[in-house]
Chains A and B, each alone.
Chain A
Amino acid sequence: MHSLVLDIAGTLSAAANLFVVAAGLTLVFGAMRIINMAHGSFYMYGAFAVTTVLGVGAGWRFWLALLAGAVVAAVAGLTVEVTVIRRLYDAEHLTQLLATYAVLLIFADIGQRIWGAGYRTVNPPAVLASGVSIAGVQVPRYQLFVIGVGAAVGLALWLMLARTRFGWLLRAAVQDPESVATGGTDLARLRTGVFVIGAFLAGLGGALIAPMQSIAPGMDVSIIVSVFIVVTIGGLGSVAGAALGALLIGLAQTLGAEFFASWAASLIYLTMIVVLAIRPWGLLGVPER
């Protein structure tokens, strides 16, 4: 029982955090067919921005810092979209991968200039710092908070895509960009908007995890592989798929830690291999033409 409650909370919070980051990546891919390695940089910048805003203190500034992390990433995203991504819309995936990898390298060095090479930490606000008892087991409140944010982001994205004109335009822009453009929509602005939302989510994911881990250079590269796996398993472009992929990876990590300790790290890659061997377009993906 003890172990089960902890495992469920741990799996869900890890999955929720991965989902927030992965949702941004897959949203951008779904709307623009752009694969973005620099998504990892946005995530890292989100986390570092929190350390800048928060310093050692916590309190009400935590909520501001969370927002600031996401906004810093969004601004970085806007810059990248305007300078680089715009030139890549009709490019091949290889070109996109290389160009955005170049951006990741550039951001890594700029980040180290701004925030240094050392580890930084921030504390969660007092209200989220302690544990709460569930079925007699102490579970960190912050894990529950992360799960809540993950769910809220999922809901917000669903509402945006399914219920707003913006969402309708996005879906239309993928299927038939020309008619959207002739319908009077500024396609370039639409794309910029989506990219900025994607970066915002990456930054939010980084900001969200900031109180739970050390914040240091290299976060960009280590997250990007994880989220690539999540979005590929789920199906590129599918937000629901990203949620499913994040849950699957969280579950694989938990089962790996419980049952195959020394092979745990292999398990997430094996999961992806098995999923794609069975469904080459991911769980909820659609075949590209």
Chain B
Amino acid sequence: MSEIRLMMGNEAIAEAAIRAGCDGYFGYPITPQSEVLEYLMAEKPYERTGMVVLQAESELAAVNMLYGGGAAGKRVMTTSSSPGISLMQEAISYMAGAEIPCLIANVVRGGPGLGTIQPSQSDYFQATKGGGHGDYCLFVLAPSSVQEMADFVKLGFEMAFKYRNPVMILSDGVIGQVMEKVELIDPIPRRTQEEIIKECPWATTGKTPDRERNIITSLDLDPIRQEKHVMNLKEKFEKMKEDVMWENIQTDDAEYLIVAYGSSARISQKTIDLARNEGIKVGLFRPITLYPFPEKELERLSKQVKGILSVEMSLGQLIEDVRLAVHDRVPVEHYGRVGGSVHTPFQVLEALKEKIVNKY
């Protein structure tokens, strides 16, 4: 039976991992997401489902453990926060190149550098434009509630294995730390050895006499073959658009639009109510997948509005994808606090009036 609990986002993602049939979690403490590893260590999932939980010596080691486990066909995940995710870029790039499924959650904090431990959304570029070296994309999911923190674990694993690609849950310190009601799914059993071999015939599960050896590598010194490989990856990144997700909130009669994801979308939802109380017809467009970006739906909405405010806790990263989607058809402006400061619904409303409604 599904179960309703009051949980913080970091606990929800941990519990959801156990219930999603995750085989292994490899992590390293960093604020504001250390509760994930703490919850798993206390919960002893190795007794509940046989899931492995290991505290690695660094984010570098943790993510390379994902590379090892994922390449062997297992459902593996890690979580970290911004500085830790920067360290992980090496193996993320290797896994994208070698086409290894895995799930990585970034509970974003303010940067650059050690920055702050407070929430931010300043890792948008890193998450959606590759992040490490080479031509690649991650499938990126942006939860805006504790419920979605939990739901996106199962969905994330599905996408990771569907596309044989790392999937990132791009959360932030607000969603990780906030407590909300969450409905947890019934536990899905971990796959058997036979099921893994059937689902992942490419995985390093041991070379049996009935097949050729499986090799997991991102290396091919022949530029013609490597080019073909990268072009195949591109095709895959295009195909991901089939699974694009978004949410429209009060957009039907909207004359203005706020575009925001994650916690900024939650905050902006309140802004919309405040604005409508003042007679400003504004709607909210919330991308749920940040890659693939829901560009077609945003383009459609852009045709009915006079202006768009892109709201994110960064200097303006999401806004680039918004502008690409609307082709300069309507004015697009940015608003957002940075460095760990979180905007209020009233500040967003003020910005909406000043930058959009009063101008266009």
Same assembly? no
Residues of B within 8 A of A (CB): none
Contact residues of A with B, CB < 8 Å? Answer: none
